[in-house]
Amino acid sequence: MKSPSLTVKAHPLAGMGLAAGLLRRTVLHQLYKLRHGQLTLHHGDQQQLFGDLASPLKAEIHVLDAGLWGLVAARGSIGAGEAYIHGYWTSPDLTAVIRLFVANLDVLDSIERGALALFGQPVIKALHWLNRNTRAGSQRNIAAHYDLGNELFERFLDPTMMYSAAMFAGTDDDLERAQLNKLERICQKLDLKPEDHLLEIGTGWGSMALYAASHYGCRVTTTTLSRQQYEYTRQRIAEQGLEDRVTLLLEDYRDLRGQYDKLVSIEMIEAVGHRFLPTYFKQCAHLLKDDGLMLLQAITIRDQRYEQARRNVDFIQRYIFPGGALPSLQRMLDVATQHTDLNLLHMEDFGEHYARTLRLWHENFRQARGELERHGYDEQFYRLWEFYLCYCEGGFLERAIGTAQLLLGKPGTRRKPLYVG
CA distance 282 to 71: 42
State yes or no: is 390 an active-site residue: no
Q: What are phi and psi of 293, to 5 degrees?
A: -120, 145
Backbone φ and ψ of 48, nearest 5°: -125, 145
| 336: three-class secondary structure by DSSP | helix
Query: Nearest-CA neighbor of 7 among 97, 83, 90?
Result: 83
C-alpha–C-alpha distance, residues 364 and 370, integer Å = 12
Whether 291 contacts 414, CB under 8 Å: yes
Contact status, residue 218 vs residue 196, Cβ threshold 8 Å: yes
Which residues are CB-neighbours of 380 under 8 A, at least 6 positions away?
3, 4, 6, 85, 86
Write out the DSSP string of 352-383: HHHHHHHHHHHHHHHHTHHHHHHTTB-HHHHH
CA gap 195, 252 in Å, rounded:
26
Close Cβ partners of 212 (under 8 Å, ≥ 6 residues apart): 183, 187, 192, 198, 200, 218, 220, 264
187, 218, 390, 392: the catalytic one is 392
Q: Tell me the chain's radius of gyration from C-alpha atoms.
A: 22
Pairing state between β 58-63 and 89-90? antiparallel
Give the Å distances, CA to CA, from 380 to 60, 87, 210: 21, 8, 35
Distance, in Å, from the CA atom of 369 to the CA atom of 8, rounded to the nearest integer, reads 25
Q: Are 296 and 269 in contact (CB under 8 A)?
A: yes
Going by C-beta distance under 8 Å and a sequence separation of 6 or more, which residues neighbour residue 23?
Answer: 11, 13, 14, 69, 70, 73, 116
Catalytic residue ranges: 392
